[in-house]
Chains A and B, each alone.
Chain A
Amino acid sequence: MNGPGSSAPLVRLEGVTKVFNGSGHSTTAVRDVSLEARRGEMVLLMGPSGSGKTTLLTLIAGLARPTSGRVSLFGRGIERFSTRELQAFRAERIGFIFQAFLLIEALTAAENVGIVLRFGRTRRSERAARAGALLGELGVGHLADRFPAGLSQGEKQRVAVARALANGAELLIADEPTGSLETRQAVGIIALLHEQARKRGAAVIVASHDLRLRDFADRIVTLRDGAIA
């Protein structure tokens, strides 16, 4: 697979600013940020709560449009994507990992993974096998038929990682992925993410204020008040 930084950037932000307009006042969540992420690279966005990490992630994923500046995904400016194209991109090329795992409680572990495969247009007959294989690869194959309520925090996060990887995502976006985990689990999960990213040649962008993650990052971007410090 490609080594870190060996190819054109999957994500490029150029002078990106995001302003939220509320009732009578506006808040600048991200201010003039420029950064890149390449295949196999893990970029760690650090900073205190409210520093704009999550907003930056949503901009990178094309979930929000910048107020000014330019965001490019896979070499193409997101302003040129239609809503449907962005949805298809998220389904097929971007994987998400959330702080609170955000597994769908009404679905089993295998179904949580399988539903993403469905969005990625994997044939129905292949979904169960692929979901099972991926869960097995991440060490939770025996929990495939369990609902999230019956899983530990660490197991939930592994299922969430499996879901993020299901469609062969080229870009993994993780928002505080270790926020709900104890140290051993946190290190384990970030090592897993790091390993999978390298193995699959995916770029990983992690927003966290967890200092334990610094050892795994290829690059650390520190944010303060929405700007790179």
Chain B
Amino acid sequence: MYAVRTLRSQPLRLALTVGGIALCIVLMLFLLAVYRGVADGSVEYIRQNRADLWVLQDNATNILRGSSLIRPEQILAISRAPGVRTAAPVLFLLSTIRRGDRVGTIFLTGFDPGAGLGGPPALAWGRGPRADDEIVLDRSFAMKFGFKAGEEVDLQGRRLKLVGISRGTNAFVIQYAFVTLRFARDLIGVPGLATCVMVNAEPGAEIGPIREEICDVLAGLQAYDQATFLANNVHEMRSGFLPLLYTVAAIGSVVLTAILSLLLSVNILERRKDFAILKTLGAPSGFLWGLVVKQAALIASVSCAAALALFFPLVRLIERVSPEVTAKSTPGQVAGVAAAVLLMSLASSLAAVRRLRRIYVLEAFS
């Protein structure tokens, strides 16, 4: 009771502390959720477009941050390689869409609708592009620019009809859009070009020999199986995002620990007479430490609850204001953050507990 009552005796201080810590927790939860959203949005395209092999120009390992150009004759050679059933070329371009005065950059994906590979990983509404004057936009991009079903989209001066809205295609810094391969090639004025070729093998054919044929016989190409290619893209996404995530999370952790440690220390100093009395009366050290640890755990728990109450409405608000932000939370993330906060509260209490050693029993007699 002592731990609870002494905290409650300063309600404003307690509220400010809980508020500060809750905001740190919200920050951590938000970063993790954004990371998850970016992770999914960046690689969902690859995850859902299951190809036995992804063929790119040599030295390009991913589609997020790599440059790959495959010539028409190479595409033809891939499609004729032994054991290849389907070879679906895809062309990725950075392009712009204009709506009124606003211009947005998109990751334009040109694919062959007849090949059954390379299209949107999931549709929130509508269908994929079938004709050269049709386009599918990422949901957050469409929301941000206010595009509605059936509207015309101005893509570099070309008028396209919006026939679908895709999900899992928001990579935070950029969003996917889908058009036919023919339209994409026409846009850059280089016929027959592709960024990568998705290959599916004949039923029963082994992937290894196909891969060897593509890499060894066709010069200048590299082929990755689905798992390796997915891992390459995940690694690329993480290398760009995780340092930022870690830095901000570390700052949040330090601030949280400092706030809590400060409150606990102030509490100890204000109640040093109590602690001196308790020491005089024979309180074991563990009991006194326990009081501080209990206070830390209590504040951490209340802050976690407050953070959760704030987090979900806040995410909905942010997604409404900035549709390009896609935050995805999982129970695992929440549990992980809660465990981390409890550990940080323990660290804070250990820092504060050192003050107990400087309280002397004789102070009870002064």
Q: Which A residues are within 8 Å of any B CB, using their own CB?
A: 54, 57-58, 61, 63-64, 84, 87-92, 94, 96, 98, 102, 104-107, 111, 115-116, 118-120, 163, 175
In whole angstroms, how far apart are the Cα atoms of A58 and B361 in the complex? 9
Chain B contacts for A175, CB-based, 8 A: 365
Interface residues in B22-48 (C-beta closer than 8 Å to A) = none
In whole angstroms, how far apart are the Cα atoms of A64 and B280 in the complex? 11
Across the interface, B283 reaches (CB within 8 A) one of A63, A91, A98, namely: A91
Instruction: Tell which of B274, B279, B365 has the most Cβ of chain A within 10 Å.
Output: B365
Chain A contacts for B364, CB-based, 8 A: 96, 98, 102
Chain A contacts for B279, CB-based, 8 A: 87
Tell me the smallest distance from the CB of A160 to a CB of chain B, in Å.
10
In whole angstroms, how far apart are the Cα atoms of A206 and B6 in the complex? 32
Interface residues in B1-32 (C-beta closer than 8 Å to A) = 1-2, 5-6, 9
Chain A contacts for B287, CB-based, 8 A: 118-119
Q: Is the CB of B273 within 8 A of A106?
A: no
Q: Is the CB of A91 within 8 A of B365?
A: no
Q: Which B residues are within 8 Å of any A CB, using their own CB?
A: 1-2, 5-6, 9, 273-274, 277-285, 287, 361-362, 364-365
Q: Is the CB of B361 within 8 A of A119?
A: no
Tell me the smallest distance from the CB of A155 to a CB of chain B, in Å.
18
Q: Is the CB of B281 within 8 A of A58?
A: no
Chain B contacts for A57, CB-based, 8 A: 365
Q: Is the CB of A58 within 8 A of B282?
A: no
Chain A contacts for B284, CB-based, 8 A: 84, 87-88, 91, 119
The A interface is mostly helix, strand or loop, or mixed, namely helix
- 8 cross-chain pairs, A with B, having the tightest CB-CB distances, nearest first: A91-B282, A90-B282, A106-B5, A119-B282, A63-B361, A102-B277, A106-B6, A54-B365
Chain A contacts for B273, CB-based, 8 A: 102
- With A104-B2, A107-B1, A107-B2: A119-B281 Cβ-Cβ less than 8 Å: yes
Tell me the smallest distance from the CB of A27 to a CB of chain B, in Å.
14
Across the interface, B2 reaches (CB within 8 A) one of A54, A98, A102, A106, namely: A106
Across the interface, B280 reaches (CB within 8 A) one of A63, A111, A120, namely: A63
Tell me the smallest distance from the CB of B166 to a CB of chain A, in Å.
59
- With A63-B361, A102-B277, A102-B364: A88-B282 Cβ-Cβ less than 8 Å: yes
Across the interface, A115 reaches (CB within 8 A) one of B278, B280, B362, namely: B278
Q: Is the CB of B1 within 8 A of A111?
A: yes
